[in-house]
Structure 1
Amino acid sequence: MTKPKKSTAKAAKNKGVEDTADRAIDYSFLPDLLGFNIRRVQIELWRDFVHKLDDEQFRSGEFSALALIVANPGISQTELARALAIDKAHTVALLDDLEKNGWAARTRSVEDRRRHTLAATPAGRKALVRLRKSMIEHEQKFCALYSPKELQTLLSLLQRLYTR
Structure 2
Amino acid sequence: MSTVDARRQQAHAITMALRELRVQLSLLNHQIAGQVELKDIDVDCFELVSREGPLSPTALARRAGLHPATMTGVLDRLERGGWVTRERDATDRRAVSVHAVRGRAAELVRLYAGLGREIEQLCAGHDEAELALVADLLRRTIQAGRLATDGLAANRASATT
TM class by shorter chain equals: 0.5 to 0.7
Distance 2:99 2:143 in 1: 26
C-alpha displacement of 1:108 = 3.1
Matches within 5 A, 1:15-164: 32=12, 36-48=16-28, 50-51=30-31, 55-70=35-50, 74-81=54-61, 84-89=63-68, 91-121=71-101, 125-146=102-123, 147=126, 149-163=129-143
Superposition deviation, residue 159 in structure 1: 1.9
Q: Aligned pairs, how many?
A: 131
* Corresponding residue SS for 1:44: helix
**CA deviations over 1:93-150 (Å, ceiling 9, x no partner):** 43232113121122333334443211234xxx33321211322332331453243544
Is the alpha carbon distance of 1:52 and 1:58 closer, same or farther for their aligned partners in structure 2, counting shifts above 3 Å?
closer
More helix by share: 2
Worse-matched range after superposition: 35-44 or 146-155: 146-155
Deviations 1:54-98 (A, max 9, x none): 74332334445334434566432244345x453343544432321
The residue aligned with 1:4 is: none
Preserved contact between residue 53 and residue 134 of structure 1 (Cα < 8 Å): no
- Of 129-138 and 47-56, the range deviating more from structure 2: 47-56
SS at match of 2:65: coil
Question: TM-score under structure 2 normalisation?
Answer: 0.56
Q: In the alignment, is the contact (CA less than 8 A) between 2:33 and 2:40 conserved in 1?
A: no
Percent identity over paired residues: 22
Q: Check the 8 A contact 1:49/1:138 in 2, yes or no.
A: no
Q: Which amino acid aligns with 1:116?
A: V
Greater Rg over alpha carbons, structure: 1
Q: CA RMSD in A?
A: 3.6
Seen in structure 2, the aligned counterparts of structure 1 residues 76 and 160 have a Cα distance that, compared at 3 Å, is: same
